[in-house]
Structure 1
Amino acid sequence: MDQARSDLLGKTNVKKALIQLSIPATIAMIVTALYNLTDTIFVGQGSGDIAIGALSIANPVQMIVMAFGLMIGVGASSIFSRAYGRNDKVTMRRSVNTAIFMGVFFSVLIAVIGLIFLDDLLLFFGATDGPDGNLHYAEDYLFYILIGLVPFSLSVIFNNLARAEGRAKIAMISMVIGAGVNIILDPIFIFDWGLNMGVKGAAIATVIAKTASFIYVFLASISSQSKLNIDLKKLYEIDKKMVLEISTIGFSSFIRNALGAFLVIIINNIIKDISLTPEIHISIFGVVNRLVMFLLMPGFGLVQGLQPIVGYNFGAKLYHRLHEVIAYAMKLLSYYFVGALLFTMVLAKPLFMLFTSESNSLLLSEGPAALRVVALGFGVIGFQVILSSVYQAMGYPLRAFLVAASRQFILFIPILFILTHYFGIEGIWWTFFAADVIAGIGSMFVYRYEMKDLHDKINIPVQQLT
């Protein structure tokens, strides 16, 4: 199996290898986006337009838990993979045990803090109080989400560990199970022909789905076919020094995902301050956010398939293969994102209509217009997506972080305050476009420089590169 994987990464036609590795990754990424998308569609149809905003208000908590889960999963997977390579079973077992401990600890800590300060947190996240506000919807949703944080966090961690031991299909199936259960249970729990629980039902369905996903991947991880060496009687064997190492390795992943939660909080509060109808505009932002993520996920799946090819060939100094696969991935990514742009421009209103049964005129007029503006930046984001992923695969985490942060933080926040000051709510949607275009053009120049550097290395004998 190891030889076959080595041949796939280092000898198989890179275009064929990229497609082969990208398909399961793409399916997994689409499934991830389905979690939030289906919740939002069913909540909008079953509980009304204002209830959609409750999901956007509660979303930062889930994003932060995801950030911790990815930090722990990425860090533990790195330690596990190196120990696996030298057949160090003690370190392998302790890396998994430590990851489990960290996942449970952070999940319980966030849940306890969240439950104690539930209303205060939601108001800080941008919820609106009063009879027409979205606070009570957000309370109903987040209460149950907080209760189910442990299986949510552990499923993220174990999916990363499954990939680390070469069982990417296990991680994919786990995520498909979660999405499938969520899609089946959502209408049953939400609509009046079922349990008629509204937003509460959406949260409970999500918790059950996350739990089902975790149970599957956990059972696969303790099976005889797994190399994770989990011994339920020795789960107490953790390594305190490993906590710091796991956190350090996975910190860049944590920051990237935590920044997303930070931006959602800022945008929700800006909407709350400047909009005359903040509940509807927060709902519009929630729908736009989920649709954009769903539309972009196949592109992110492609670069996940690209990363192991880049890492292997960069380490082996096979620069001709490296140049070819990056160029091919860039071409595919550009085609896809342009296609997603055209798709959004044509179908923006029908997409929004999936989320509402009330035919709110403001939602159905401003919502599609906002989505079209945000989608205008799709044509250039491929360069920053490729660069960030390639740098990560090459072992340049700081460069990868700077590329990602340039759009999401460094550019976005100042542009957001400037444009909303002059253009109000519309300034939010144009901020997405402006940040994507500026970061995309900057990334394009860096991409061309890096590709030229790789091209120059192709003609240099390997001996001179060592």
Structure 2
Amino acid sequence: MDELFAKAPIKQVYFKLSLPVVLGMITTMIYNLADTMFVAKTGDTNLVAGITIGAPLFTFLIAVADIFGLGGSSVISRLFGEKNYELSKRISSFCLYGGMITGLFLTVILLIFEHPILTVLGAKAATYSDAADFYRALSIGAVFIILSLIPQNLIRTERLAVEAMIATMTGTILAIILDPIFLFVLKWGATGVGIANILGYVVTDLILVIMILQKARFITLDPKLIKINAESIKEVVAIGIPGSITNFAQSFGMALLNSSLAIYGADKVAAMGITQKIYGIVILVIVGFAFGAQPLLGYNYGAQNWRRLRDILRFDILVQVVYAVIVGGLLIVFARPVTALFMNQPDIVSAGSYMLLATIVTTPVVGIVLVYTTVFQSVGNAWGAFIMAIARQGVIYFVVLELMKMTLGYHGIVWSQAISDILTCVIGFFIYEKALDLKDKIGSEKIKSK
């Protein structure tokens, strides 16, 4: 581990850790698109609506998993840099069993309060049955969804990124295969879609458990090591909660955007939906690179290897910007034909290509924002991570959207995310400069070496 994280060429270790994360995320995106297509092919609008209503439960469970997964991996990667392997084992055990206990607890709560929760999510008389079927399957399988994400994050700190990718892709491919069987052959409806999802996660969990038992040295399933002190729990939660808030902020931002566009007609909302699908694929790769590098950042911060940390950050930003400029540039040039692939109607193509331009133009800035976010998570800067979590698609986006909507109307709504991206990047830069202060640390390092 020391050889790879502390000494190997930065390009080599960066892509070794990041590319498997990128591929795993792309596989998940393919499943989401396939799942949407399979459900839509049934022609049952109540089924489509019911599954859409239940979908936020996924977001919630992923957010819970992030508390233990992102928080735990952040602390463990720094402990690896400090050579504190005993505490690393304890934190990994706490996160794994903490996630399991939380998942079981949530299953009980979700089933008890099914009706009020589904009502809040928007279930009506016509859609309640399908929404409830999907909701119950996810609720019963909550522990499997949560546990599929926690060990993925933890084992990447031990450079087992490929193993995490294999587990994710295997479970996702199984779900893609089972989805149409349960829907069209067995006629299980929303319950079938939910079960296909859960079985995919069960397989992912089993593979991850095998990987931990066979390959991990410091990530452990030993329940005897679950007990850790209050300070360690606080560290995990302080970084994990901002990571989970990010998921809620994305849903919040999307809801704000759709409600703001609704007054301009269904075609504008549809066009933005297409834009977000395209943009989501681009962003997934950026997220994959950013979070794939997180264990590397945390390790070198814990080891106080300031010069290598600086070089990793520079390379991370370079990769993000180059990727965003190339892919974003191509999408801007071919915005109309790309939009037409989804829905070839003149009004929607025109609106969608305009929205895509406004969304894609700041993609390089988003890449830098994600680097700042992962840096704050990796080094244990809880406040920095929290501010970034609530900024881009939360507080700042809300303020910018309202101001732009009042002053520029439709065009203001379309360009609000771009303005929010830039402002969030500026805030991230100032926090980064103040929190890390790498120039002084590297300077002190040089003085000591003399």
TM-score by length of 2: 0.79
Deviation, structure 1 residue 295: 1.5
Give the corresponding residue for 2:120. 124
Deviation, structure 1 residue 212: 1.2
Q: Is 1:325 equivalent to 2:300 in the alignment?
A: no
- Cα distance in 2 for partners of 1:51, 1:464 equals 66
- Cα distance in 2 for partners of 1:41, 1:56 equals 13
Indicate which of 24, 34, 39 corresponds to 1:38.
34
- Cα distance in 2 for partners of 1:15, 1:444 equals 24
Equivalent residues in 2 for 1:292-307 (5 A)? 292-307=279-294
Give the corresponding residue for 1:431. 416
Q: Which runs of 5+ in 1 are unaligned?
A: none
- Cα distance in 2 for partners of 1:397, 1:465 equals 31
Q: Is 1:149 equivalent to 2:142 in the alignment?
A: yes
- 394-403 vs 420-429, which deviates more? 420-429
Equivalent residues in 2 for 1:32-111 (5 A)? 32-47=28-43, 57-77=53-73, 82=79, 85=83, 88=86, 92=89, 95-111=91-107
Indicate which of 227, 230, 240 corresponds to 2:221.
230
Deviation, structure 1 residue 252: 2.8
Cα 1:346–1:205 change in 2 (3 A) is: farther
Indicate which of 1, 6, 11 corresponds to 1:10.
6
Q: Amino acid of the residue matched to residue 169 of structure 1?
A: V
- Cα distance in 2 for partners of 1:199, 1:145 equals 11
Answer whether contact 1:41 1:354 (CA < 8 A) is retained.
no
- Cα distance in 2 for partners of 1:460, 1:293 equals 42
Q: Is 1:169 equivalent to 2:162 in the alignment?
A: yes
Q: Amino acid of the residue matched to residue 331 of structure 1?
A: L
SS in 1 for 2:221: coil
Deviation, structure 1 residue 130: 6.7
- Give the root-mean-square deviation of aligned CA atoms: 4.3
CA offset digits 1:107-163 (Å, max 9, x no partner)? 2333333334445334434x37476xx666544433322222111111112223323
Q: Amino acid of the residue matched to residue 139 of structure 2?
A: L
Answer whether contact 1:340 1:378 (CA < 8 A) is retained.
no
- 412-421 vs 80-89, which deviates more? 80-89
Indicate which of 350, 370, 374 corresponds to 1:389.
374
Answer whether contact 1:128 1:279 (CA < 8 A) is retained.
no
Cα 1:177–1:438 change in 2 (3 A) is: same
Deviation, structure 1 residue 333: 0.9
Q: Amino acid of the residue matched to residue 462 of structure 1?
A: K
Answer whether contact 2:103 2:142 (CA < 8 A) is retained.
yes
Indicate which of 208, 229, 233 corresponds to 1:246.
233
Q: Is 1:257 equivalent to 2:232 in the alignment?
A: no
Cα 1:460–1:96 change in 2 (3 A) is: closer
Q: Amino acid of the residue matched to residue 208 of structure 1?
A: L
Answer whether contact 2:63 2:245 (CA < 8 A) is retained.
yes
Q: Amino acid of the residue matched to residue 149 of structure 1?
A: A
CA offset digits 1:173-220 (Å, max 9, x no partner)? 111112211222233334x4x445555443332122111111211233
Q: Amino acid of the residue matched to residue 102 of structure 2?
A: F
Identity of aligned residues (%): 24
Q: Amino acid of the residue matched to residue 64 of structure 1?
A: F
Cα 1:329–1:167 change in 2 (3 A) is: closer
Give the corresponding residue for 1:221. 212
Q: Amino acid of the residue matched to residue 19 of structure 1?
A: F
Number of aligned residue pairs: give it: 448
Deviation, structure 1 residue 21: 2.9
CA offset digits 1:333-373 (Å, max 9, x no partner)? 111112332344355566667767xx788876655554443
- 283-292 vs 321-330, which deviates more? 283-292
Q: Amino acid of the residue matched to residue 137 of structure 2?
A: Y
Give the corresponding residue for 1:401. 386
Q: Which runs of 5+ in 2 are unaligned?
A: none
Give the corresponding residue for 2:325. 338
Give the corresponding residue for 2:446. 462
Deviation, structure 1 residue 278: 9.3
Answer whether contact 1:330 1:382 (CA < 8 A) is retained.
yes
Q: Amino acid of the residue matched to residue 405 of structure 1?
A: I
Deviation, structure 1 residue 257: 2.4
CA offset digits 1:350-400 (Å, max 9, x no partner)? 6667767xx788876655554443333313222212222233333433223
Indicate which of 203, 206, 223 corresponds to 2:194.
203
SS in 2 for 1:230: coil
Cα 1:117–1:424 change in 2 (3 A) is: farther
Q: Amino acid of the residue matched to residue 283 of structure 2?
A: L
Give the corresponding residue for 1:380. 365
- Cα distance in 2 for partners of 1:341, 1:31 equals 21
Give the corresponding residue for 2:15. 19
- Cα distance in 2 for partners of 1:349, 1:200 equals 38
- Cα distance in 1 for partners of 2:264, 2:133 equals 21
Deviation, structure 1 residue 299: 1.7
